[in-house]
Structure formats: structure tokens, C-alpha cells
């Protein structure tokens, strides 16, 4: 079976959809679509109709590219007021050979989350820290191992239902089945991880339009996460205020003229704009970059302090991603604040080489990893649809009557 998946990242500034196929551990992009986001404030949906319109557009655009309807999807969810806890569980291996299967792994993970999630919260992830065979042998992946019992130690992350359900309801109203959910920072880690990050403790920073996620990872397992109400919009606001220009013009100046650091900015590079008073003013790259640098420096300094609050362990790396880091010379100021160990997002996939896609890309890789551990095949398309997609003339059997159940059940059965 071809491993084809679609992921959706609904942000305050844009809505991004990616359809990709995992081939030999590599993600092959089949379709990508994005549109301006409306109805979202600081990552939270405030107008479902506006969000539905945006999601419908990216779905239609992607479906036009691949030639098939998208009815199943992965989606990022806000990290507001996240709760984390560590729990354990143990099951007996009852088959005659006592060989641990993917269903056993799913079962023990589900058991670790039983009677733990409060009624006002929703389970987002149950990540295994370690598996234990027969109460003595610790392993990373127990699939196909022989044992009488399988135990697991997990870290469970939960978020308020009121922050998660709105996007689920939007997708349900469009006839879309949500296969799984994850935080942007968690997904971004799977896009940007290395062999070294999987051995050490570090931080992943996803700087969005109006908010930033700061997450701590210990040997590839997320151990803490915090959302900060800071993002690239703060820079736009500063530019708009200083020059008395509309926010849209401020954003365009940031994208086309400003550097993240004024160190290499040119005083001769100038543009003329009309402010809100109707006056024509001249803005130099160096003065504009000073404004940008000041705000970025403040944001990164706050993030650095937050990392120290989230973990007492020694940090071996800091990964920074999100659209802001695409600003020219961002590396200069990030190294000043975080040191030379900072890693800026480097998106490799052809067609989506921009850090605004890091969460949507990583979401597919994260889901693929979870299914490999469970020894499960997956695809958003049936065999018949895959044959049609591959060019084989077969009848397409599409079920338009998908109904969204509780996320808990989808998490453990996806």
C-alpha cells in the first residue's frame, strides 16, 4: 500500500495543506496549497465560517492537483494551557508465540491514558518513553519481540477541549475525517530532527504570525511545551507605528526591504511610501532593520528565558523554525542570543522550501513514525483510489459519509 497522507496547519496568518507520500523514509510532495487565514486569533478559531472558507479553498486546490477528493487528514492544534503527565501501563501478551504485535503496542499505549484525562481536556499525544519486556528488559521498539508482558512508560499531553474542538468541528462539517492531531512544535521536530537531536535534550521554537511555541525534547520525546503570545505580527506593528503606515504596508516593507539585523543593512537602500497623514516619507533599509532587529532581539530573549523555565537540563541544541526566520540575516541575531548551537530550519522537500511549512511537513513524518512503531499501513486513499491516482483505469470508490468520533479513539486506532 502506498503511504499517502494529508496534513493541515491552520495558523493566524495562513492555512497550509500538504499531501505527501512516504517512500523509503523520505517524504515526496504530491500537492501543496495555502491561503490567507481569516477567523483565527492567536491560533484560536474565533469565526468558524471564515475558517471553513479557507480550509475549503486549500482542499479544493490540492484536490485539483491530485485528481482525488481528500476525506482524511491530520491537523495541528493550539498549545494553549497544555497539561503533561507521566504514566505507566502493562498488558499480557496472549498469543501462543508471545510475539509482540502492533496491536499490543496500541493496546498498552491506550491503557496508559485510561482514567488520566480530565473531562474538560482532550488527549493529544501518548508518547512512549521506554518499553519494558517481562518487567526487566528495556527496549525502544518492542515490535516482534518475545515476552509474556509488555509495559510502557509514557508522557501524556492534554489540551482543553475548547481549543481543540473548533477546528475538528470545521473539518467534520466539510465531511473530513480527522485521523490524528499534534502540536506545531511537535510536528516541526519530526521535520527538522537529526540523529544527534534524538540522543540529547534540546528546544524547538516555532515562531508563528501572532504566537510562538517553545517545546523541550529529551531524546526525541517532548517533555514540556509553552505557547507565547509573540510573533512576526509584533514586528509589523512596530513598523506601522514608527512610520504611521497601514499594517499591510508595514508587512510588505518587512518582507521586501528589512534585514533581521542592521549589521549589514545599507543606508543607501531606500523606498518611498505614503503614510496615514498623506505625506510621502523615505525609509532606509538600515533604519527599518534597526526596528526589526530590536523586536526580534526582544522575542528571542524572552524565548531564551522561557526555555530555562521549561527545563533544568542542559540544552544541547535549539531549533528555530517558522516564517520569521526566512528574513535575511536572521542567523546573525539568533546566534547572538542563543549561541552557535542554534539550528535554523532547513526545509529540504522540493516545492515547499519555506519554514512556514515545517509543521505541516513534520506532521506527516510524525504520523508515519507512529505507524511504523505500530507496524501499520496507512493511506488516505483506498486501493482503488490509489490505482486511479497511479493512472490505472479503475472505478473510484469514495465514501463521503465519514463521521468524526472522539479524538481519543482516532488517536489509538489510526
pTM: 0.89
pLDDT at residue 399 in the model: 40
pLDDT > 70: percent of the chain:
94
| Span 399-407, average pLDDT | 40
Identify the pLDDT of residue 404. 37
pLDDT tens digits for range 365-393: 999 999 988 888 889 998 888 877 776 54
pLDDT in tens, 54-68: 999 999 999 999 999
**What's the pLDDT at 341?**
84
The per-residue pLDDT for 408 is: 45
Cell numbers of 149, please? 508482558
Percent of the chain clearing pLDDT 90 (strictly above): 86
Rounded Cα distance between 168 and 143, Å, is 32
| Residue recorded with cell 534585514 | 259
Question: What does the alpha-carbon distance between residue 265 and residue 269 come to, in Å, rounded to a whole number?
Answer: 8
CB 253 within 8 A of CB 288: yes
Rounded CA gap, 393 and 365, in Å?
30
pLDDT, the chain, mean: 92
With a cut of 60, say whether residue 405 has pLDDT above it: no
Q: State yes or no: pLDDT of 108 exceeds 50.
A: yes
Domains in the chain: ranges and CATH: 83-161 (3.30.1490.110), 232-297 (3.30.420.40)
pLDDT digits (tens, 9 = 90+) for 162-187: 999 999 999 999 999 999 999 999 99
Q: Identify the pLDDT of residue 382.
A: 86
Contact 72, 177 (CB under 8 A): yes
Beta bridge partners of 212: 207, 228
Question: CA 246, CA 276: separation in Å to the nearest integer?
Answer: 7
Residues facing 151 on adjacent strands:
90, 132
Residue 326: pLDDT over 60: yes
Torsion angles phi and psi, residue 160, rounded to 5 = -60, 140
Amino acid at each position: 500500500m502506498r503511504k499517502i497522507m494529508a496534513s493541515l496547519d491552520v495558523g493566524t496568518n495562513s492555512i497550509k495543506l500538504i499531501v505527501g507520500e512516504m517512500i523509503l523514509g523520505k517524504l515526496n510532495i504530491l500537492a501543496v496549497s495555502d491561503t490567507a487565514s481569516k477567523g483565527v486569533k492567536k491560533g484560536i478559531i474565533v469565526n468558524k465560517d471564515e475558517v471553513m472558507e479557507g480550509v475549503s479553498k486549500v482542499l479544493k486546490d490540492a484536490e485539483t492537483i491530485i485528481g482525488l477528493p481528500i476525506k482524511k487528514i491530520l491537523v495541528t492544534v493550539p498549545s494553549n494551557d497544555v497539561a503533561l503527565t507521566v504514566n505507566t501501563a502493562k498488558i499480557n501478551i496472549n498469543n501462543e508465540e508471545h510475539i509482540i504485535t502492533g496491536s499490543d503496542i496500541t493496546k498498552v499505549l491506550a491503557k496508559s491514558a485510561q482514567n488520566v484525562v480530565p473531562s474538560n481536556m482532550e488527549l493529544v499525544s501518548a508518547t512512549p518513553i521506554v518499553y519494558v519486556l517481562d518487567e526487566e528488559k528495556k527496549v525502544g521498539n518492542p515490535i516482534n519481540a518475545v515476552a509474556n508482558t509488555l509495559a510502557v512508560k509514557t508522557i501524556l499531553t492534554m489540551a482543553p477541549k475548547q481549543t481543540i474542538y473548533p477546528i475538528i468541528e470545521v473539518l467534520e462539517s466539510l465531511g473530513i475525517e480527522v485521523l490524528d492531531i499534534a502540536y506545531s512544535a511537535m510536528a516541526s521536530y519530526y521535520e527538522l530532527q537529526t540523529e544527534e537531536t534524538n540522543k540529547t535534550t534540546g528546544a524547538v521554537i516555532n515562531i508563528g504570525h501572532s504566537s510562538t511555541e517553545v517545546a523541550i525534547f529529551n531524546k526525541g520525546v517532548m517533555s514540556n511545551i509553552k505557547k507565547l503570545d509573540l510573533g512576526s505580527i509584533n514586528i509589523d506593528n512596530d513598523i506601522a507605528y514608527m512610520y504611521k503606515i497601514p499594517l499591510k504596508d508595514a508587512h510588505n516593507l518587512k518582507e521586501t526591504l528589512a534585514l533581521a539585523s542592521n549589521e549589514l543593512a545599507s543606508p543607501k537602500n531606500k523606498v518611498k511610501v505614503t503614510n496615514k497623514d498623506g505625506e510621502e516619507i523615505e525609509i532606509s533599509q538600515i533604519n527599518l532593520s534597526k526596528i526589526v532587529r530590536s523586536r526580534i532581539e526582544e522575542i528571542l530573549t524572552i524565548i531564551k528565558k522561557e526555555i530555562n523555565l521549561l527545563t533544568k537540563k542542559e540544552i544541547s541544541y535549539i531549533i528555530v523554525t517558522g516564517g520569521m526566520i526566512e528574513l535575511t540575516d536572521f542567523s546573525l541575531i539568533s546566534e547572538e542570543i542563543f549561541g552557535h548551537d542554534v539550528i535554523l530550519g532547513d526545509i529540504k522537500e522540493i516545492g515547499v522550501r519555506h519554514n512556514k511549512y515545517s509543521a505541516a511537513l513534520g506532521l506527516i513524518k510524525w504520523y508515519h513514525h507512529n505507524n511504523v512503531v505500530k507496524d501499520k499501513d496507512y493511506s488516505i486513499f483506498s486501493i482503488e483510489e490509489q490505482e486511479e491516482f497511479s493512472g490505472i483505469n479503475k472505478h473510484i470508490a469514495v465514501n463521503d459519509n465519514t463521521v468524526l468520533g472522539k479524538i481519543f479513539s482516532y488517536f489509538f486506532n489510526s
